[in-house]
Amino acid sequence: MKFVELEEARAARGLRLVVMAGVPSPWSEGAKGCLDMKGIDYLAVRLRPGDEAVRAWTGHHNAPVALYEDEPPRAGWAEILALAERLAPERTSLPADPRARVEALGLAHEVLGEGGLAWSARLALIHTSFVTEGARGFPLRAARYLAPRYGYATAYAIERAAKARARVLSLLAFLAQRLGDRPYFHDDRPTAVDVYVAVSMALFHPLPESVCAMLAPMRQAFETTDAEIREAVSPSLLALRDRMYERHLKLPVLL
């Protein structure tokens, strides 16, 4: 991976990946993690707030977005994973057994899909921002920007936030039970599921500033999330995060 400016990425061939700047987004870090774990070379471009030029290039408002050769941009976690599998099939990020592969994709959706762990955690954090007037959670400006993208409206905010919070607690318990005392979710080697779970822990227990520098308001948001949710993260999930970064993933470079 090499970070470059927009013009260099536009002129390049091969794989280019647009990722969020300043914040360890599970979706951006998950895409980077799968590519890095498979040893796929790519150029990375940071998407910063107000960066309309990058958005115009990708045709998408958010990140990550993968652009390979002249193929259409890919923005969903599943589409980016499928591309990575195609580019390096000999180092698969999914189990070989068809049943295990289906389960892995289902687990991945429960982590990064709409209504999944990361999505619900972000919605719950948006609600925290509003009810504390920005004292906890995201700064109010960021919360107002994110709210419509997560279907958060004042008319049913409390109900949506309560469901999102319950979903987070349920999924954290389920993932800890599914992992058990194994080193990884499937067999003795990591898959995309391990990548996605590991990077999603930043929403609850971000890595220290000394190894993952990020925008200060974003660090405050993750460190002031719901106390019960933070406590619900099992030691086994945090151990998985540490194991993945020690053995398989590169530390986030956000600034």
Q: What pLDDT was estimated at residue 153?
A: 81
CATH number listed for the domain at residues 98-247: 1.20.1050
Q: What pLDDT was estimated at residue 104?
A: 98
Give Rg (Cα) of the chain. Answer: 18
- To the question of pTM greater than 0.95 for the whole model, the response is yes
Q: What pLDDT was estimated at residue 154?
A: 76
Our measurement of the distance from residue 93's CA atom to the centroid of its chain's CA atoms, rounded to an integer in Å, reads 16
Amino acid at 230: R
Q: Alpha-carbon dihedral of residues 126, 127, 131, 134, nearest 10 degrees?
A: -10
CB proximity list for 33: less than 8 A, separation 6 or greater: 195, 196, 198, 199, 244, 248, 249, 250
Render each residue's pLDDT in the chain as its tens digit; 255 residues: 999 999 999 999 999 999 999 999 999 999 999 999 999 999 999 999 899 999 999 999 999 999 999 999 999 999 999 999 999 999 999 999 999 999 999 999 999 999 999 999 999 999 999 999 999 999 999 999 999 989 888 778 889 999 999 999 999 999 999 999 999 999 889 999 999 999 999 999 999 999 999 999 999 999 999 999 999 999 999 999 999 999 999 999 999
> What is the domain partition of the chain in residue ranges?
2-91, 98-247
CA neighbours closer than 13 Å in the CB half-sphere of residue 181: 0
CA neighbours closer than 13 Å in the CB half-sphere of residue 18: 28
Which alpha helices (H) appear in 113-156, and where do they start and end?
117-131, 140-146
For 54, the token pair is 């990058």
Architecture of the domain made up of 2-91: 3-Layer(aba) Sandwich (3.40)
CB proximity list for 36: less than 8 A, separation 6 or greater: 1, 248, 249, 250
Tell me if domain 2-91 and domain 98-247 are identical in fold.
no
Helices and strands per DSSP (H, E), number in the chain: 12, 4
8 A C-beta contact, residue 27 and residue 118 = yes
From 149, 155, 158, select the one nearest 131 (Cα to Cα). 158
Q: What pLDDT was estimated at residue 164?
A: 96
From 86, 93, 50, select the one nearest 69 (Cα to Cα). 86
Using a 10 angstrom Cβ sphere, with 0-12 exposed, 13-18 middle and 19 or more buried, the burial of residue 98 is: exposed
